[in-house]
Amino acid sequence: MEMLALVLTLLLSLSAATGAAAETVKVTTTPVFSHIPRLQASKDFQVLVRVEAPPALQQHRRVPVDLAVVLDVGASTGAGTARLDAVKKAVKFIIRQIHDDDRLAVVGPSNYRLLPGFLNTRDARWNAEKSVDQLEPRGEFTSGAGLEEAIKILEELPATASRSSRARFVILVTDRAVAEGSSRLFNKLPRESLSLPPVHTLGLGAAHDPRELLHIARESQGTYSFVDDQNTDGITGAIAVCLSGLKNVVAVGARVRLEAPVGSGVTIERIQSGGYTYSRTRPITTRDDKTYVEVAVGAIYAGEVKSFLVHLSVPALLPSTSTVVADGCYRQQLLTASVVGHYTNSDEEHAAAPASPSPTVTQAILYVQRPPPEALDVACGGTLHRVPVPVVMNHIARFGVLEMVATFVDTDIGRHSTVTAEMATKLRVQWEKFVQARQFWSGLDLGVLDDEVSRMVNILEEAASRSGSSTSLSAATAYVLSWLSSYQMQRPTAMGSPGSVAAAFVTVNMQLTLLQVRNDFDRFDTLLPRAPPQSPICVDPMPPPLFEMSGRGDDTYRVVNTAYPPGVLVDAINEAMKQMHLALVQASNLRRCDAAGVEVPLRTPLSRAGAFA
């Protein structure tokens, strides 16, 4: 496995270095149908807007991070002591994983600044780990004080770079139970002097309050994860699920702007954005209307895809209304989607006080066909595109399931202190009705969602059968809320253990970071009296073979070794081979020609439209 991780990392690094290093984020728009007849109006025309980041970055292309870790952990004997030891290991893993241009602070129990910050050298990292070993169990202090202290630390960090060119996060790790009816922790934090960073919460064991931690995560656009009592050893893995994104930030302050052409009659009726807040107020003019929406995305991680559903009202066109004509087809502009965000460029890497980079904009313009009745033919797609686009239909279903579960949480889990069999039955019936209502949708695949909702129902049923067990109550509530957090923010969360993650949001960086968790403590568990020189990592003599015999007794047929994730490996190899081919053509002053002998221009990712420069 060690060699596999290194091979995949090298392949991805080669692909990034030769091709995608300068590309960061792109935006695409996909309508549910490619055309709307000219004389027909559509009151709910749905458009899928996707924001995509590349899977890997060169070091100088990533955004540096300011990270504050809050540890609100108690320990007495037995399981409590083991949990505290696991938390110490998790913090050490963070120290080893962050990059040299990142800044870290740790707030320990009793509001104590365990680690106010450190220089990015080997000795400093070792000293920081030694401080973590001195972590003591939680004392008595006011709820929310650790988060307040973390905000202060982020404010006090030296301004060696503009805040607009750095990403700021808080990770809150707690096993604290919050009394029912108490004021929410997050409401006590100061909000006036500093915009709050995303707070990624991690609940430990049965005693933590899932609803409180989800509230904190929602208010700050963070995520909520948890580790149950049976997976204490998985605390580092749960941290790694979150950290894999924080250490690979592509852009900060990202906003998705959606604009309908003024005067066209097209309006943006609503947008499904999950947990991301949005506004209809236009910048500068401060005018609210139905032709503008801006979604605040914030930080974007490498390999992430953010999806939003835009619901448009499109009026019928008068016969005299002009439209763009191309290839004999009539087209109308419906929407412009733009992504605005800050990123770090190579010129800033070694600057003592780099200036704030100007926001960079990438844009996609959506046109749909608006043919008159006489033009509804195959040439314009009139008869070929009556079936909705499957990818849009699947996202419509995904957002529908998200709204169903969110309503269930608000009306049932959020209002009751115990899990009952009726709650599980209600969720099961709602899901069955949801599936039945969409049974004839073309191209719809509910397989993964069916597995995930069924898992929730089973956990609720098991909790209900153990009435009186606080452990089962907490685990059932925590699982549903963590799933909800993951789908709202479109990011992976640990749902009981690092091995339980929503598949839709797993990235390559997360997989590689989890592989590093397995190897980390075999090499670093023991602290020596002084910082030792780092020895080479020991790996297998040779990597696993790429292909294996198919077993058919024929030398010509082989299959990909199952040790390699097929999608990741094949995509990385194809991208690397493509970039090496283009580099060879350019270096050898050759020409690329198609089958007719016509020269094909040599295009590199640097010239691709719709990408951050």
pLDDT at 430: 97
Do 215 and 188 form a contact (C-beta atoms < 8 A)?
A: no
- pLDDT score for 588: 59
What is the number of alpha carbons within 13 Å of residue 95 lying toward its C-beta?
29
- pLDDT reported for residue 405: 97
Of the listed ranges 125-129, 385-389, 582-586, the least confidently predicted one is 582-586
Contacts of 24 (CB under 8 A, 6+ apart): 53, 54, 57, 61, 250, 251, 300, 343, 611, 612
Per-residue pLDDT, averaged over 258-274, amounts to 94
pLDDT of 261 over the 80 cut = yes
Measured between alpha carbons, how far is 477 from 89 in angstroms, rounded to an integer? 27
Average pLDDT of span 591-595: 72
Identify the helix (H) or strand (E) that includes residue 12.
helix 2-15
* Choice between 478 and 129, residue whose per-residue pLDDT is larger: 478
- Residue 538 or residue 430, greater confidence: 430
pLDDT of residue 24 exceeding 60, the answer is yes
- Eight-state DSSP code of residue 157: S
Q: Are strands 65-72 and 103-108 parallel, antiparallel or unpaired?
A: parallel
Average pLDDT over residues 153-180: 74
More confident residue, 210 or 14: 210
Q: For 560, phi and psi rounded to 5 degrees?
A: -70, 135
Work out the average pLDDT over 402-410.
96
Phi-psi category of residue 560: left, alpha or beta, with phi > 0 → left and psi -120 to 50 → alpha: beta
Contact 343, 53 (CB under 8 A): no
Which tens digit of pLDDT belongs to each residue from 182-224?
Answer: 335 556 555 444 468 999 999 998 889 899 999 999 999 999 9
Tens-place pLDDT, residues 339-352: 998 875 444 443 33
Are the CB atoms for 454 and 427 separated by under 8 Å? Answer: no
- How are strands ordered across the β-sheet holding 112-115? 112-115, 103-108, 65-72, 167-174, 199-204, 224-227, 495-496
Percent of the chain with pLDDT over 90: 39
Task: Give the whole-angstrom CA distance, residue 288 versus residue 260.
Answer: 13
* CB burial string 255-284: b at 16+ within 10 A, e below: bbbbbbeeeeebebeebbbbbbebeeebee
What pLDDT sits at residue 434?
A: 97
Q: Domains of the chain (ranges plus CATH)?
A: 23-57+250-345+359-386 (2.60.40.1510), 65-248+474-522 (3.40.50.410), 548-588 (no CATH)
pLDDT class of 318 with cuts at 50, 70, 90: confident
Which residues face 280 on adjacent strands?
none
Contact 344, 253 (CB under 8 A): no
- How many angstroms separate the CA atoms of 251 and 281, rounded? 23
Contacts of 183 (CB under 8 A, 6+ apart): none
Q: 132 pLDDT band (50/70/90 cuts)?
A: confident
61-70 pLDDT, tens per residue?
788 899 999 9
Q: State mean pLDDT over 543-562.
A: 58
Enter the DSSP assignment of 191.
-
What are the φ and ψ backbone dihedral angles of 32, each rounded to 5 degrees? -65, -30
